[in-house]
Amino acid sequence: MITILVFVSVTAAATAMSRKLSLYMRRSVVSRPVTFLLTMGGISLVAFVCAAVLMLAQGLEKTLVDTGSTDNVIVLRKAAQAELQSQIDRDAANIIESRPEIAMAGDGTPLATEDIFVIINLLKKGTGDMGNVTVRGVGPKAMELRENVKITSGRAFAAGTQEIVVGRRIAENFEGVAIGHSLKFGGALWTVVGVFDAGGSGFDSEIWGDVNRIMPAFGRPVFSSLTFRLRDPGVFEALKADIEGDRRLNYLELSREREYYRKQSGIMADFIRVLGLVITIFSGFGAIMGAMITMYAAVSNRTIEIGTLRALGFRRKTILATFLLESICISIAGSVVGIVAASFLQLLVISTINFGTFTELAFGFDLTDDVIVSTLIFGFIMGVAGGFLPAVRASRMNIVNALRSS
């Protein structure tokens, strides 16, 4: 917020101070189209990288956060970072499901699902590499509980059978998962009967089947997680305190589902951001140097003009603001070009390992207002950093020496 205020106030002040010479500034920029385009191009490349990295981190966060619903609660073993490391026994699950705070499904049973979370290997399309894929055994209310999950082709798996449904991203990225095909895992053959769309969330990168068939297939006696809908989302804190204080259940921990997935995305999104920031800052230095060289050249080429303007009565601060604003304008223009170019990345989908679960997760680039503002601010910083010293030089020029350079 402070950065935005600085951005707006410096630009506004520079605009106000250089208002008298705005026409001169605009024409000067346009009169050197090649220099202008090259400098702008350099800055737009950096802005593109900056926006792309932020969009990637944002896309990952969105994918995982959207996986969770605000009204749902997920129960895991305490200290488990993810479902992979979590265990809940049947008794504990039954006790929790009998709580009155849990919403009821249409058939009068609790709107909850006990899930088992296992990982299998599948062949990736095109590359010939194997990739880790999440297989989630779910209860009969899983689809009703996770409203963003919809069967788009085929049908849902039938309870008590070796049928499975695959997420949209799995269907797109892996071999042998088309409807009618069979997959071999957990010592059994599983038939794909449908494809589901989970609205771009993490479930799109999962395979779902009946929890009561998948658990014995993998020799698991316990669930990985329990997810349920609250009748009233406001009672979460009280319920959490109650369950976590119960001697039979105090090895468990309740989280709002959305918060759980937000935490899941944190490690990887932060990794992308830090890595991207380092790349952006280093390439940013190059762009700043480019802008600085351009602006020094502009000052040098216009020494007589600067001397003349000063002789006519234009003050130092007007000259300073004019050159600074020129640099800021070039940088902002470059940033806008970079953002527009980066916006096309939204058409791409990235598939990578999710560090939280060690399974493949597909996600896209997400261009949000935050990404746009951050990239523009970065462009502004490049403009100020590249333009400030040349602008100071222009404003501090001795009038007589400047005029003598003719």
Partner 1 sequence: MEIPVLTNISFEIPEGEFLALMGPSGSGKTTILNLVAGIDRPTSGRVIVGGTDVTTLSESALAVWRASNIGFVFQFYNLMPVLTAIENVTLPLLLTKMNKKERAERAAFALEVVGLGDRIHHYPRQLSGGQEQRVAIARAIVSDPTLLVADEPTGDLDKKSAEDIMDLLERLNKEFRKTIIMVTHDPRAAEKAHIIRNLDKGELS
Where would I find the beta strands (DSSP E) of 150-221? 150-154, 163-167, 182-185, 188-197, 206-210
Where would I find the beta strands (DSSP E) of 59-103? 72-77
* Between 30 and 347, CB nearer to partner 1: 30
Between the alpha carbon of residue 87 and those of residues 80, 113, 142, the distances in Å are 9, 14, 18
Kindly tell me which residue out of 178, 304, 348, 373 binds partner 1, with binding defined by CB under 8 A: 304
Q: How far is the CB of 35 from partner 1 (least distance, A)?
A: 14
* Between 29 and 385, CB nearer to partner 1: 29
Q: Which stretch binds partner 1 (CB under 8 A): 25-33, 60-68, 287-295, 375-383?
A: 25-33
Non-local (6+) Cβ contacts of 208 within 8 A are 135, 136, 137, 138, 142, 157, 164, 165, 166, 167, 196
Kindly tell me which residue out of 62, 77, 168, 310 binds partner 1, with binding defined by CB under 8 A: 310
Provide the pairing of β-strand 188-197 with 163-167: parallel
Nearest to 88 by CA among 255, 187, 292, 227: 227
Q: In the range 315-334, which residues lie near partner 1 by CB under 8 A?
A: 315-316
Pairwise CA distance, residues 238 & 120, whole Å: 38
Kindly tell me which residue out of 311, 348, 353, 373 binds partner 1, with binding defined by CB under 8 A: 311
Residue 15 touches partner 1, criterion: CB under 8 A = no
* Between 198 and 402, CB nearer to partner 1: 402
Helix (H) or strand (E) holding 114: strand 112-123
What is the 8-class DSSP label of residue 105?
P
Kindly tell me which residue out of 132, 308, 343, 374 binds partner 1, with binding defined by CB under 8 A: 308
Alpha helices, DSSP H only, in 205-315? 211-217, 236-245, 257-301, 303-312
Q: Which stretch binds partner 1 (CB under 8 A): 55-63, 96-104, 182-190, 305-313?
A: 305-313
Nearest to 236 by CA among 253, 255, 223: 255
Q: How far is the CB of 386 from partner 1 (least distance, A)?
A: 21
* Between 28 and 225, CB nearer to partner 1: 28
Q: How far is the CB of 21 from partner 1 (least distance, A)?
A: 7
Kindly tell me which residue out of 105, 119, 305, 377 binds partner 1, with binding defined by CB under 8 A: 305
Between the alpha carbon of residue 74 and those of residues 28, 46, 77, the distances in Å are 61, 41, 10
Q: In the range 193-232, which residues lie near partner 1 by CB under 8 A?
A: none
* Between 322 and 335, CB nearer to partner 1: 322
Residue 405 touches partner 1, criterion: CB under 8 A = no
Pairwise CA distance, residues 25 & 119, whole Å: 61
Residue 31 touches partner 1, criterion: CB under 8 A = yes
Q: How far is the CB of 5 from partner 1 (least distance, A)?
A: 28
Kindly tell me which residue out of 17, 21, 325, 328 binds partner 1, with binding defined by CB under 8 A: 21
Between the alpha carbon of residue 132 and those of residues 97, 119, 392, the distances in Å are 31, 6, 57
Residue 146 touches partner 1, criterion: CB under 8 A = no
For the purposes of burial, counting CB atoms within 10 Å of the CB of 1, is it exposed (0-12), middle (13-18) or buried (19 or more)?
exposed
Residue 33 touches partner 1, criterion: CB under 8 A = no
Q: How far is the CB of 308 from partner 1 (least distance, A)?
A: 4
Kindly tell me which residue out of 28, 58, 225, 359 binds partner 1, with binding defined by CB under 8 A: 28
Nearest to 241 by CA among 249, 229, 230: 249
Residue 144 touches partner 1, criterion: CB under 8 A = no
Residue 78 touches partner 1, criterion: CB under 8 A = no
Q: Could you list the residues that contact partner 1 (CB under 8 A)?
A: 20-21, 23-24, 27-28, 30-31, 304-305, 307-316, 399-400, 403, 406
